[in-house]
Amino acid sequence: MIPSRVIHLVMLFTVGISYSLLFSINKLAAEAGLPYVAYVFWHSLGGGLMLLLICVLMGRRAWPQLNWLHLRTYFVWGGLGIAGPITLLTYVAPNLPSAVMTMILVLVPLFTYLFALLLRMERFRALSVLALLLGLGGVLLVIVPEASLPSAEAAGWVLLALLAPASFSLVTVFAGKFRPPDAPSATLACGLLLGSAVLLVPVMFGTGQLYLFPGPSLSGDLTLLYASLLSVLIFYVFLEMVRLAGPVFATQHNYIAVLAGFGWGALIFGEAHSVYIWGATALMFAGLTLHTLSARRAARAAEA
């Protein structure tokens, strides 16, 4: 029998590597000319339908529930976790290196603590506050020096992209408070992907960003297929990892995602980065490490 810790580590690396690859796929979709709203709609719909089939095969217990508690979860998670931030990141993708967009994932646990602290769901912890300051220092090291990014205009795109980790953080805060009891991970992943697709329908029509699949661009259609498959893998495995190993362990996928993001960026786009970007990454990693230590101490104190 495979030890549970080995299973948890495999899940951690699966989520980290897959999630970082999705950022590169987003950039490829933008370069292929896909409308960014339609792109997120189609890969949300595709991933959601794949998971719906899996849920049907798993039996009636895994079918998505349509009561208020579950619908609220699907639409809030789908809006804050996919429809909003992924659409935003696809929009900014042509203007930033894919690795830089992946790097800001490190800020998600730090923003989560900040929002939870403001909502009085977390206590003040000096190490976590120091972690927030280190994360802020990393952001400043990206946007302030002129030589850190490919162009001066890119700093504004970085600031806009920071809305994405803030949105992801709100999902985490919401998930800790409102996750439906005993809902299978496949069901939740299916619901949030389909919820994202439903939310994007009026946005897609309102902005005129319509795209019929399959479309005229084979490369564009392939990015949709890749993104759909990655979404199934990422959201199911992540939710299952949170259930089995806990949220503190699960947040460590950000380390892997950032490092893998640099690798995907170099492999797919030939990206190279300034010393400021590497320095910013080190500061953000230090912040995430301090926050993880602080969260573990708080968890042990609560169990004592």
Mean pLDDT of all residues belonging to the chain: 85
Domain residue limits, the chain:
4-303
Q: How confident is the model at residue 61 (pLDDT cuts 50, 70, 90)?
A: confident
pLDDT over threshold 90, residue 46 = yes
Which residue blocks in the chain are alpha helix, DSSP H? 4-31, 36-58, 68-78, 84-92, 98-103, 107-118, 126-143, 154-161, 163-178, 185-207, 218-245, 247-250, 253-269, 275-303
pLDDT over threshold 70, residue 303 = no
pLDDT over threshold 90, residue 178 = no
pLDDT over threshold 80, residue 302 = no
pLDDT over threshold 90, residue 291 = no
Taking alpha carbons only, the member of 108, 107, 111, 116 closest to residue 139 is 107
Residue length of the chain: 304
Distance between CA 259 and CA 77 in Å, rounded? 26
pLDDT over threshold 80, residue 173 = no
pLDDT at position 211 is 82
Rounded to the nearest 10°, the torsion over CA 84, 15, 107, 197 is 0
Taking alpha carbons only, the member of 304, 252, 291 closest to residue 125 is 291
